[in-house]
Every structure is written in structure tokens, then in C-alpha cells.
Structure 1
Amino acid sequence: MLENKFRSWNFLRILRLAMGIFLVIEAVKSGMWFLVFVGVVFVAMPLLNIGCCATGNYSIPKQNSEKAVDEVEYEELK
């Protein structure tokens, strides 16, 4: 089960987790409790694989290569 959880990890996901952990540790050291909350959010995002681009909402739609692009009709204006 753990193999499936860590199979889709890439460099940026690991980097986000490391930055979140670093932010939590530094915020606890300095006593800035609001930043602890922000750091927990940054740790939760890679662990749960959530974020603005995780669901594919910002992906570019695939073009259908079967359409003929060469045939273009022009209308003459007078």
C-alpha cells in the first residue's frame, strides 16, 4: 500500500514537502504561530497530493489530430 502512495512523487512534490517542514520548524523556533499554520498547509498539500494543478483543471486540452487543418475557406469582402 505504501508503494502506491510514493509511486507518483516527483521532485517538485518532495521540494514542497521539504519547504513546508522547514517552514514549520522555523516558525516554531521563532514563535510565529500563524506561520506554523501556513507551514502545516504546505506540508499537507504534497502529502495529500492537492493543489491548484493536482486535479488537472489547468491542463491544456489535447488537439484532435484527425481534423484537416489545411482546408481553409475564405470569404471575399467587397
Structure 2
Amino acid sequence: MKNYLANWNMIRLIRLAMGIIITVNGALTHEWMILILGGLFTLMAILNINTCATGSCTVPRTKRRI
């Protein structure tokens, strides 16, 4: 459990907070699509699933001399 909580970064915490807020908002207004969207954000944060499927979304840095 200690190791699991150590891997949380700021983006993951923001995604969790957004998911919880959107889920509560969807439940209070009875909007099911909003509820599903909030659940998606929450699951992405809990399971640490990124929007990048292959894990290679970063742009490689080239070392060029000008």
C-alpha cells in the first residue's frame, strides 16, 4: 500500500479531483453522460491509465548546436 501511494503525481491528483467533482455533479443533476465521464476520469486516476496508449506521447529531445 505504501508503494502504491508513492507513485502519485500532481496530474494524477488533479485527474482524481476532477473525476470526483464531475461524478458528484452528474449524480446531483441526473445527467448520466456526465456521470460516466466523471467515472472515467476517476478510474483513470485510480488505475494510473494515461490517455496515451503506447506510452510514447512525449516528443524526443534532440541535442542540436546552433
| TM-score under structure 1 length normalisation | 0.69
| Greater gyration radius | 1
For residue 4 of structure 1, report the CA deviation from its aligned partner: 1.2
- Relative to its length, the structure with more helix (as a share) is 2
**2:15 is matched with which residue?**
16
Q: Which has the higher contact order (CA 8 A, sep 6+)?
A: 2
| TM-score under structure 2 length normalisation | 0.79
Does residue 1:41 correspond to 2:40, yes or no? yes
**2:30 is matched with which residue?**
31
Give the paired residue count: 65
**2:51 is matched with which residue?**
52
Moved over 4 A (4+): none
Q: Which runs of 5+ in 1 are unaligned?
A: 70-78
CA distance in 1, matches of 2:47, 2:41: 10
Q: Which runs of 5+ in 2 are unaligned?
A: none
For residue 53 of structure 1, report the CA deviation from its aligned partner: 3.9
CA distance in 2, matches of 1:55, 1:3: 27
